[in-house]
Amino acid sequence: MTPTATLEILTSPDLRPVQHGFFTRKGGASSGVFSGLNCGPGSTDMAEMVEINRARVAEAMGVTPGHLITVHQVHSPDVAVITGPLAEKPRADAMVTATPGLALGILTADCQPVLLADRRAGVIGAAHAGWKGAIDGVLERTVEAMEGLGARREDITAVIGPCISQRAYEVGPEFFTRFYDEDPAWSRFFTQGNGDRYLFDLPGFGLMKLREAGVGEALWGGWCTWSDEERFYSYRRTTQRKEADYGRLISVIRL
């Protein structure tokens, strides 16, 4: 964990020396339910506060705000190849680049932020992988897009950042059935909850998807968004409390 100014940035030794960070909510300008480093322009937070927060992240990553690239995330398997600052955000849930000086940022609040790097080839990626994106193939397609820029699958390291852990991710039987019908072996990512409820292992599922995609190394940092309110935003925690809205964490990687 490496602090920059008042920000808290979680890093993985497995991705170094590629510059990256899973930013917590600490050190931001937002207040109320968004208190902290809310980087989500799609939230109902004050736009100027989100801009301040994103500028702080850009500064911590050593880029201008225009070189901190995010996309319009829609829980899809779509991947954007980034070669420079964007005039308009594409609808996608992952990005890849081989261009130095660009910082790829993913917004989450329980879903998996996944940062990927082939340090040898100089290719990086960032993916937003909730259950729907993961089941539809966003992680495999991110690896394929990196390969298209010259990466080798076996040289890619992928790290899953703060996301909801299995102990907090309660789902209904229809959710379990969706996975079981796709592949009965995926039932191993569920444990029995109360009554007809199940507990789903999202990061475990993400790690399986990454390893099946052939990456050389895949890890999860072990950070649970739901259980650590001081550091992380959580959509599920907000929903359970019937709060009006929630902040978005940002995870960033750059060459």
Is residue 194 domain-resident?
Answer: no
Distances (CA, A) of 63 to 105, 149, 253, 255: 12, 22, 11, 11
Residue 170 counted as domain residue: no
Residue 210 lies in a domain: yes
Would you put residue 50 in left (φ > 0), alpha (ψ -120 to 50) or beta? alpha
What is the mean pLDDT of the segment spanning 67-85? Answer: 96
Over residues 81-136, the pLDDT tens digits come to 999 998 899 999 999 999 999 999 999 999 999 999 999 999 999 999 999 999 99
The closest of 113, 126, 146 to 213, measured between CA atoms, is 146
Residue 192 maps to a domain: no
150 assigned to some structural domain: yes
pLDDT on residue 87: 87
pLDDT in tens, 208-252: 999 999 999 999 999 999 999 999 999 999 999 999 899 999 999
The CATH number that applies at residue 72 is 3.60.140.10
Sign for the pseudo-dihedral over CA of 32, 107, 91, 75: negative
Distance CA 138, CA 121 (A): 21
Here the tokens at position 224 are 């649970």
The secondary structure element, H or E, covering residue 11 is none
* Token digits of residue 210: 């990454």
Residue 14 lies in domain: 2-165+201-254
Within a domain: 193: no
In a domain, 148, yes or no: yes
The pTM for the full model equals: 0.95
Q: What is the pLDDT of residue 1?
A: 37
Domain count, the chain: 1
Is there a domain that residue 196 lies in?
A: no
